[in-house]
């Protein structure tokens, strides 16, 4: 992959649960070490993964930040979608089958970044989703860490996860997929997309453009995470791309570190909804197959 990895980590970074605003340590999964070109993920490998459903269908991914908050992409919730029609699932691996760790939630509110689409068709593609009830943490359901502002990364293990398309023929998988991706310098990504204005400072690029490994339709809103000192930090949110079957176009992500202060501020000042502990998600119907389609595509410029 051209050997191009970006973002040098010059100083050790310590990320604590206190930094995240909740008592459960973030980014520490029980298992230590679709997505185009990916492989099925095992239970508890990505415990912060969220499936966002609209009108009963999986449309986007997301990630757990705290007991009440999920991070996703703004374009997943834009265009006057009714928040009462959304359902979020955590602890889910197979879209057709809940397990003992799956929890289901309704949405209390959605906060889109105020500059979304203001200066770029997919700029500031960040959404904070507050749940109506509290997430119960376990080895299979855990929050991911936010990156410190200005965090630089290099030679780290970075992964994308989701239920998006897994082949050039448009096939999808009901199983959560994972793929390891190299980060691509912004200047190279701008060159590949043909103009500097297409890739702005609040974005980053990742993808194995030689081996056709990248995020695809249905992965929107999902996390791009890297391991920093044995702690998993989310550096990107799946945002957009110019197709996902072309070898020269990497996936483009909202750069989480650019929005870290805004994310933390809104979580801190927004009161929690008064609600009892959620029940486990009801099992998906066993007598008939549940049709799962990817309604949201990665928007293209």
- Of 126, 20, 112, whose CA–CA distance to 66 is shortest? 20
Query: Between β-strands 203-206 and 183-184, what pairing exists: parallel, antiparallel or unpaired?
Result: antiparallel
* C-alpha separations of 96 from 25, 53, 169, 290, 293 in Å: 30, 12, 22, 6, 11
The verdict on whether 195 is a catalytic residue reads: no
Dihedral sign from CA coordinates of 48, 123, 239, 88:
positive
Q: Which of 125, 202, 208, 219 is catalytic?
A: 125
75 is known as an active-site residue:
yes
- Burial code of 71-96, b = ≥16 C-beta within 10 A, e = fewer? bbbbbbbbeeeeeeebbbbbbbbbbe
User: Residue length, the chain?
Assistant: 301
Catalytic residue among 22, 53, 58, 75: 75
Catalytic residue check, 202: no
DSSP label at 26? S
- Candidates 220, 239, 257, 297; catalytic one: 220
CB atoms within 10 A of CB 21: 16
CA-to-CA distance for 154 and 152, rounded, in angstroms? 7
Active site residues: 75, 125, 220
């Amino acid at each position: 992959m051209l050997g191009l990895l970006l973002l040098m980590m010059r100083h050790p970074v310590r990320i604590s649960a206190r930094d995240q605003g909740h008592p459960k340590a973030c980014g520490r999964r029980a298992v230590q070490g679709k997505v185009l070109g990916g492989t099925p993920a095992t239970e508890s490998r990505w415990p912060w993964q969220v499936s966002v459903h609209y009108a009963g269908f999986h449309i986007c991914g997301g990630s757990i930040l705290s007991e009440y908050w999920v991070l996703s992409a703004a374009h997943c919730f834009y265009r006057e979608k009714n928040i009462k029609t959304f359902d979020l699932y955590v602890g889910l691996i197979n879209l057709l089958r809940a397990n003992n760790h799956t929890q289901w939630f309704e949405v209390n509110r959605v906060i889109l970044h105020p500059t979304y689409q203001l200066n770029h068709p997919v700029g500031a593609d960040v959404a904070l989703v507050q749940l109506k009830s509290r997430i119960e943490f376990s080895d299979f359901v855990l929050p991911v860490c936010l990156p410190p502002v200005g965090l630089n990364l290099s030679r780290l293990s970075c992964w994308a996860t989701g239920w998006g398309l897994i082949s050039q023929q448009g096939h999808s998988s009901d199983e959560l997929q994972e793929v390891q991706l190299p980060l691509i310098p912004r200047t190279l990504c701008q060159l590949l997309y043909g103009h500097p204005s297409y890739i702005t400072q609040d974005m980053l690029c990742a993808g194995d453009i030689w081996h056709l490994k990248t995020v695809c339709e249905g992965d929107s809103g999902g996390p791009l995470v890297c391991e920093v000192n044995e702690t998993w930090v989310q550096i990107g949110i799946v945002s957009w791309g110019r197709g996902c079957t072309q070898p020269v176009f990497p996936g483009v992500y909202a750069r989480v570190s650019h929005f870290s202060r805004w994310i933390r501020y809104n979580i801190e000042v927004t009161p929690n909804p008064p609600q009892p502990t959620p029940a486990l998600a009801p099992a998906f119907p066993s007598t008939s197959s549940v049709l799962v389609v990817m309604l949201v595509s990665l928007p293209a410029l």
